[in-house]
């Protein structure tokens, strides 16, 4: 799917697919940002000193939530029109285009690389290569973090079936995502389910923390630590075809 075709009405498409959420879409994005910062605080302590890469940044929704929180925040995407909108919306963040095959950064350029609801648009045969690339650009003791829709949740399945942006989606479960990170040489793997409820607030956040071990959230988060050497050398060619990326609710 060409994500550029959906840039102008991205948010409205999400809200039509998730009618009971409406304006809460941004709160769902914010929750992923909160979870990312919790992981970073546990790993690094003072996360504001970190260099962070958003793979498949789309129109920059996560950057709107995270801007100013880190020493460096970079978004990368294959969709040129989406990047133009992201630059206009979040001018203090770097947005970089790439060809969908190799992330345009040197080995160990970042402390964290994350992807928010991107991998269900990546063809299954190319998912491992993209994870390898994310691991390559992360420094030792850095994090690779994946947020994804949970195919075990029937509400998630219903939302995806209604969303025009997700026409090409092939959902991947938490077990597959853990396996991808493990095969890329990442260690200390963790999975946490999130967004059990459409409502936000202290009560619901607390309830979700208690439920996070149950694999029935509408989305989940898998994280791994790069404790060894880079899994691929900078000179190796990787065949990664990322044909459509988004940051859905």
Domain boundaries 22-225, CATH class: alpha beta
**Cα dihedral sign, 161-119-218-195:** negative
| pLDDT single digits (tens) 164-186 | 777 888 999 999 999 999 999 99
Residues 209-230 have a mean pLDDT of 87
Distance CA 182, CA 186 (A): 5
Query: Can you give the pLDDT at residue 24?
Result: 65
Neighbours of 72 (CB within 10 A): 14
Q: Which sequence spans correspond to the domains of the chain?
A: 22-225
Query: Can you give the pLDDT at residue 27?
Result: 82
Distance CA 111, CA 108 (A): 7
Tokens of 241: 């075809």
* pLDDT band at residue 48 under the 50/70/90 scheme: confident
Distance CA 42, CA 122 (A): 29
Share of the chain above pLDDT 90, in %: 60
Share of the chain above pLDDT 70, in %: 82
Query: Can you give the pLDDT at residue 121?
Result: 92
pTM for the full predicted model: 0.83
Please enumerate in sequence order all residues whose Cβ is within 8 A of that of 195, keeping only pairs 6 or more positions apart, or say none: 28, 31, 208, 217, 218, 219
Angle at which helix 10-17 crosses helix 24-44, to 10 degrees, equals 100
């Amino acid at each position: 799917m060409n994500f550029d075709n959906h840039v102008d009405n991205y948010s409205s498409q999400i809200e039509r697919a998730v009618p009971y959420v409406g304006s809460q879409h941004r709160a769902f994005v914010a929750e992923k940002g909160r979870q990312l910062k919790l992981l970073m605080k546990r790993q690094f302590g003072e996360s504001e000193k970190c260099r962070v890469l958003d793979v498949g940044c789309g129109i920059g929704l996560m950057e709107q939530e995270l801007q100013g929180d880190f020493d460096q925040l970079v978004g990368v995407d294959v969709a040129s029109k989406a990047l133009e909108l992201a630059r206009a919306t979040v001018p203090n963040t770097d947005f970089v285009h790439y060809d969908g095959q190799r992330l345009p950064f040197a080995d160990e350029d970042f402390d964290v690389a994350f992807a928010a609801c991107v991998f269900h648009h990546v063809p299954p045969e190319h998912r491992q290569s993209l994870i390898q690339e994310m691991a390559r650009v992360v420094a030792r003791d850095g994090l690779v973090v994946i947020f994804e829709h949970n195919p075990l949740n029937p509400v998630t399945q219903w939302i995806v079936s209604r969303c025009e942006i997700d026409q090409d989606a092939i959902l991947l479960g938490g077990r597959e995502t853990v396996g991808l990170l493990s095969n890329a040489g990442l260690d200390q793997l963790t999975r946490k389910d999130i967004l059990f409820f459409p409502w936000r607030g202290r009560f619901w956040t607390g309830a979700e923390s208690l439920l996070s071990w149950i694999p029935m959230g509408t989305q989940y988060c898998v994280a791994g630590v790069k404790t060894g050497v880079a899994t691929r050398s900078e000179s190796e060619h990787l065949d990664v075809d990322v044909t459509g990326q988004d940051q859905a609710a």
